[in-house]
A = this chain, B = another copy of it.
């Protein structure tokens, strides 16, 4: 068995103390160690292929240089992309990202947070799931820095980077209205999460602004745990009601993917038989015969800002929270008519 090379090994070979080796290797020019000894140490370190043990460094410094990222659903390309961006941004600040997917499940989220707290992560970036309020409050109590993304809890003061969901939903609903649709259904997750409510509020107020009464039967909610079937059922309900809708607003890309499959199964054509708008895109849409009008979130900005805020807070803990509401843009394609 090859034991790993430590400062001790170098020290022994160079016949100096461990501290000397450490000084040579960590302080550059002005280590306070003489030229000859320095060179000797460096040479031996290179020969032995010395790698500092970051675990020991972390223990000593109290900093792990690890950021915990908890996304709601890693199979969703939205989160997959954001994870990637955050990883890249974190690396620029010399942080490694460890992440997990809560799958919209508060228990799993709690397990992940605990796991990572034990691993002494320096901070978190979290897309919190429903029912995870306490976990967030606990982080605050423990003084562990974190930034929420995509969603946040308005009742809990914290850093967050989200988009203006209300505004985006309002805009996209307006787009449907402008193209002549007044019977608009909405498919959402059955969730108390604020961003979901905001999307629904945007939809509702856009209708009301045009003097259209909101029909709660047209706001359909599906369970994350039973997505595929639920979407199928709800989309059918919208389309087979006494007065069927002429347009559907899918509040997430995953909902849309299964919604479009349902529409295909029912032999309806977008946009002639039914108009469609979606919150977020998906690569799969590229192959859909009709380009889909959708909301595009500024992923790069979200990731960059989240990391910036977090790293800042890690380095200079303050009581002031950063609350960012970024603008999302409406990408107009051919799916509304």
Q: A residues touching B (Cβ–Cβ < 8 Å)?
A: 1-2, 4, 49, 51-56, 58-59, 64, 74-75, 80-81, 84, 87, 96, 98, 100-101, 114-115, 117-120, 141-143, 257, 260-261, 282-289, 317
Contacts and interface: CB of A to CB of B under 8 A. Distances in A.
Given A119-B96, A143-B2, A64 B75 contact: no
Given A1-B143, A261-B286, A59 B51 contact: no
Given A53-B59, A284-B287, 15 more contacts: A1-B317, A2-B143, A4-B142, A51-B118, A55-B119, A75-B84, A80-B80, A87-B101, A98-B98, A257-B283, A257-B287, A261-B286, A282-B283, A283-B284, A285-B287
Which of A1, A261, A284 is packed against the most chain B CB atoms within 10 Å?
A284
Contacts of A80: 74-75, 80
A69 to B, nearest CB: 11
A96 B98 contact: yes
A284 B257 CA distance: 10
Nearest to A98: B98
Contact of A288 (B49, B56, B74, B287): B287
A64 B74 contact: no
Which of A87, A119, A257, A286 is packed against the most chain B CB atoms within 10 Å?
A119
A268 to B, nearest CB: 15
A308 B289 CA distance: 43
A257 B142 CA distance: 47
A95 to B, nearest CB: 11
Contact of A115 (B49, B56, B96, B282): B96
A104 to B, nearest CB: 15
A165 to B, nearest CB: 25
Q: A-B pairs with the 7 shortest C-beta distances?
A: A2-B143, A287-B287, A284-B284, A54-B118, A287-B288, A55-B58, A55-B120
A52 B118 contact: yes
Contacts of A87: 100-101
A285 to B, nearest CB: 7
A65 to B, nearest CB: 9
Given A84-B101, A143-B2, A287-B285, A117 B59 contact: no
